[in-house]
Structure 1
Amino acid sequence: MPLPQPDDLTSLVLRTDFGDEGAWDAVRAALDAAGEYPLATYVSELRFADVGVQALMAEEAAADEDDQIVYMFLADAATMKDPGHPLLAVDLSDEPGRTFRVPARWFPDISANLSIANMDFAEFADAADGSGTFRGFDEG
C-alpha cells in the first residue's frame, strides 16, 4: 500500500506515536499556528504506529512511481514529548533515509520551500546543528 499523498502545496505529517492524544493535538496546533496558511496534511492511522524510517522507505520504494513522495515529516515519540514539537524530516528521494529534526516554528519555511521545489531536502539537512536539528539558516 503506498504512503498517503499530501494535499497540494502541503507536506505529509505522519503520526507514528499513539500514546497521547493530547500531545498529537498540541503538535497539530503548534504547526498550524506557526504559519499563515495550512502547510500540513496530517495522517493519523494506526498502521503507522511505531513505524521506522527503513520500513517507510521500503514501502515508498515498492510504490508505483506516480504514487511516490519525495519527503515526509514524522510525528514520533520525540515530537510528542518535546515542547518544541520537533518533527523528524525524512528524505525519500535524493538521499533516502536522510533525516533531521525540525521544531514546529521552522516547519512553515521548510514545508513551503520543499512543496514548491524552491529548495531541496539536503539544503535544510546540511544546515542542521550538531544535534541534527534545523534551527534556521545562519545569517552570520
Structure 2
Amino acid sequence: MDRLPDLQTSLLIRTDFADPAGWDAVRTAVTTPTEEDFLPNLHVVDDPAYRDATADQLVALAPEWALLILADRTALASAELPLLVVRVSPHENGRLRVIAERLWSIENNISLANMDWEEFTSSADEDGVLRGF
C-alpha cells in the first residue's frame, strides 16, 4: 500500500470490495446534499490496494493531520452505512462511527475547527454510532 495523499481534504477510503451495491450506496449518501445544502469535502480513494486495510494500517500511511473515513465491511453491512471516521493528529487520534448521511456534520465541523472531536464522540449513541445531535 502506498502512502495516502496529502490533499488538505478528508479521505473516503474504500476497504471493502465485496459489496459493490453497498459502496454505491455510500457514494450516493455522501454526495447528496442535505436540505440545507451541506456536503462533506472528500477525496475518494477507491483502490483495491487498500482492500481489507485496517484503521491502524491506514493511520500509518496518513498525513500528519488527516480525517480518514473508511467504508469498511462493518459500514457496508448495515443499511445505515456507519462509516468509520478516524481523526489523525500529532496530539490526539480518535475513532467514531457515523451514519453516511450525517458524515458532513463531522467532516465540515472538524475540518473548519468549528467543533471539538469530543463533541461528536459524546453525542454518539450507546452503540458508538453518531446519528445526529
TM-score by length of 2: 0.83
Structure 2 gap ranges (5+): none
Paired AA for residue 95 in structure 1: E
1:17-56 matches, within 5 Å, as 17-35=16-34, 36=37, 38-39=39-40, 40-56=42-58
In 2: Cα distance, 1:17 partner to 1:26 partner: 13
Q: What number of residue pairs does the alignment pair up?
A: 128
Distance 1:92 1:116, change over 3 A: same
* Structure 1 residue 38 displacement after superposition: 4.4
Matches within 5 A, 1:6-85: 6=7, 10-35=9-34, 36=37, 38-39=39-40, 40-60=42-62, 67-85=63-81
Cα deviation code 1:49-73 (max 9, x no counterpart): 111111122223xxxxxx4333211
- Give 1:95's aligned residue: 92
Q: List gaps (5 residues or longer) in structure 1.
A: 61-66
SS in 1 for 2:130: coil
Amino acid in the other structure paired with 1:104: A
| Alpha-carbon shift at residue 13 of structure 1 (Å) | 0.8
Q: TM-score, normalised by structure 1?
A: 0.79
The range that moved more, 33-42 or 19-28, is 33-42
Q: SS of the counterpart of 2:11?
A: strand
Q: Structure 1 residue runs of 4+, over 6 Å off?
A: none
AA partner of residue 128 (structure 2): G
RMSD across aligned C-alpha pairs, in angstroms? Answer: 1.9
Segment drifting more, 29-38 vs 14-23: 29-38
